[in-house]
Amino acid sequence: MLSLLHRSLAPARRIFTMVLTEGLRPSQAAAAVFTGVFIGIVPIYGFQSMAALGIAVLFGLNKPLTLAATFINNPFLQPGLVVASIGLGRWMLTGHFGVVVSRAEIWQCLPYWFAGSVPLGVALGGILAAATFAVAGRSSGRLRARRARTRAARFLYAKAPWFDRGFVRWKLRLDRIFEYLDAEDTAAGTLVDLGCGHGIASAFLTSTAPRRIHACDLDSHRIAVAREAFRALDAHFEVDDARRFPLPRAAVILILDVLQYLAAEEQLDLLARCGSALEPDGKLIFRVQDCHRGLSSRLSAALDRAVFFLGGAGQRPLILSADAYRRVLEQSQLTVREIRFRNRLGLAHLLYVARKGGRP
């Protein structure tokens, strides 16, 4: 039944993905923003969305981006846009700058509004389009490279059961940890992944260059999936506890969403062991829940407690203070960076990147 539902939804997913990603080259993204902003400023209320969508279809622009840009005409900005359009139009047609001062003048100012909205739309649309082009042009190369790594990671799980394939696919899409792993300069060498699950992070980091992998997790099914996915690579996945797993000399050690399962002394001991196992310039990367992000933190904590309860952990998640983590890492001669971010599901995370022998 679930397999049939999965197959039946596949065409809808492909169409949805195509609509979101079409026309996202820097020039096309800039054109979509310019079109949406211009139409949003010109006073054709009631027809703006229809006009934006029609132009996007006609010229092959990204439809969601074009429609989103029309929302420059929102309740917060609309008064300023109207006043600026009327003042600019009055100056163009009469040589005198002025705005509406009474209700009786509104109908008299309609020609000024239309006349002024055109150059204002061109100016603001051009500015925002130029900014979009600059940002998209700078990030497009990195984005293409990350997508290539993502596709390579997904390919490893092509023969996994459909549920596990779906989990891998959505994990790679929704978890922003892969953006930060992609940005890190992780030296070639042995990779250790503690609490690896399906091995998705290992697959992502191995997608550009083969490396030896040593990984462990307590879930035997996930380890079986990982062994099958990595069977052609130099990878060793074991059903084992991260607290007892023997650590080889490593260039990269990952501990993602595992420490909260351990007692305070066990967390600090594991981090100290990892620091000792790192090669010079090696990196220890671990993630915990961020407890200081308001609603996102409460949502993350509730999800963690639910996972602990359903998994029969018999305890609550334990997150130590940033000072406690930083102290044990610095005692192992590691230089520490902290990165706060939210997932695409709104979960709050704190990522620690500790480098052996690095400069502060």
The verdict on 12 and 38 lying in the same domain is yes
Q: How confident is the model at residue 100 (pLDDT cuts 50, 70, 90)?
A: low
Is 331 a domain residue?
Answer: yes
Our CA angle for 321, 323, 315, nearest 5°, is 25
**How confident is the model at residue 353, as a pLDDT?**
95
Domain with 224, as residue range(s), is: 157-356
Q: Kindly state whether residues 194 and 266 are assigned to the same domain.
A: yes
Q: Are residues 92 and 183 in the same domain?
A: no
Name the nearest CA neighbour of 205 among 227, 233, 186, 230: 186
Strand pairing class (235-239; 250-256): unpaired
Q: What residues contact residue 75 under an 8 Å CB cut-off, 6+ apart?
A: none
Same domain, 278 and 311: yes
Query: Considering the domain boundaries, does residue 220 fall inside one?
Result: yes
DSSP 41: H
pLDDT digits (tens, 9 = 90+) for 227-284: 999 999 999 999 999 999 999 999 999 999 899 889 999 999 999 999 999 999 999 9
Beta bridge partners of 62: none
DSSP string, 304-326: HHHHHHHTT--S------HHHHH
Among residues of the chain, what percentage have pLDDT more than 70?
86
As a whole number of angstroms, the distance between CA 167 and CA 148 comes to 19
Q: Are 251 and 191 in contact (CB under 8 A)?
A: yes
What are residue 348's DSSP bridge partners?
342
Helix (H, G, I), strand (E, B) or coil at 97: coil
Is residue 28 domain-shared with residue 112, that is, in the same domain?
yes
Condensed to tens digits (0 to 9), the pLDDT of residues 276-323 reads 999 999 999 999 988 877 777 777 777 777 766 666 656 677 889 999
Per-residue confidence (pLDDT) for residue 7, from 0 to 100: 53
* Opening angle at CA 178, ends 173 and 181, nearest 5: 175
pLDDT tens digits for 63-81? 888 999 999 988 888 888 8
Can you tell me whether residue 160 is helix, strand or coil?
Answer: coil
Q: Do the Cβ atoms of 216 and 238 come closer than 8 Å?
A: yes
Domain count, the chain: 2
